[in-house]
């Protein structure tokens, strides 16, 4: 009888995942890639956002338009924790010290949305990851 109970306990232990096993099976989201970001102002301003994620740490760059008609690349650092993204970086060469701050959320459909705060105030944004061609 003891052998049957021990065998049943062993089978149950294999069938019911422990909390550690459950976490292993569900992968944390990774936002590495190039994103089409749309800044919402009087009209939508398209910008490129490239991100690289290692664990919760996120680095990248955003290519922002300038008043001169060209674009400036701003290097960003931040993190993705529980689907919440925070990034910031200094704008090199700006007339006055300026920092870009980005806050957002990764949505269930894989898109992102949030706000960007910079020298022109706070604007909303949405973003979709570019698909990698095979």
For residue 121, being part of any structural domain is answered with yes
pTM: 0.76
pLDDT of residue 26: 57
For residue 5, being part of any structural domain is answered with no
Give the CA diameter of the chain.
84
For residue 67, being part of any structural domain is answered with yes
CATH code where residue 85 lies:
2.40.128.120
pLDDT of residue 4: 44
For residue 107, being part of any structural domain is answered with yes
Q: How many Cα atoms occupy the beta-carbon half-sphere of 117 within 13 Å? A: 7
pLDDT (tens digit per residue) in 6-47: 443 433 333 344 333 333 445 779 999 999 999 998 899 999
For residue 66, being part of any structural domain is answered with yes
Residue 89 CB neighbours (<10 A): 20
For residue 115, being part of any structural domain is answered with yes
- For every residue of 42-84, DSSP letters joined together read SSEEEEEEEEEEETTEEEEEEEEE-TTSSEEEEEEEEEEETTE
pLDDT (tens digit per residue) in 38-57: 999 889 999 999 999 999 99
Domain with 35, as residue range(s), is 28-129
For residue 21, being part of any structural domain is answered with no
For residue 2, being part of any structural domain is answered with no
Encoding tokens for residue 48?
Answer: 């490129």
Q: What do you get for the CA distance between the two ends of the chain, in Å?
A: 58
Structural domain tally of the chain?
1
């Amino acid at each position: 009888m003891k052998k049957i109970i021990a065998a049943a306990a062993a089978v149950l232990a294999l069938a019911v995942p422990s909390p550690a096993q459950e976490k292993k099976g569900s992968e944390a989201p990774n936002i590495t890639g190039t994103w089409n970001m749309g800044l919402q102002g009087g009209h939508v301003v398209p910008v490129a956002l490239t991100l690289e994620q290692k664990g919760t740490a996120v680095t990248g760059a955003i290519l922002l338009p300038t008043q001169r008609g060209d674009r400036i690349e701003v290097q960003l650092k931040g993190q993705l924790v529980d689907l919440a993204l925070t990034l910031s970086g200094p704008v090199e060469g700006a007339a006055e010290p300026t920092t870009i701050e980005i806050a957002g959320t990764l949505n269930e459909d894989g898109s992102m949305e949030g706000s960007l705060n910079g020298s022109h105030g706070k604007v909303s944004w949405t973003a979709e990851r570019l698909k990698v061609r095979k």
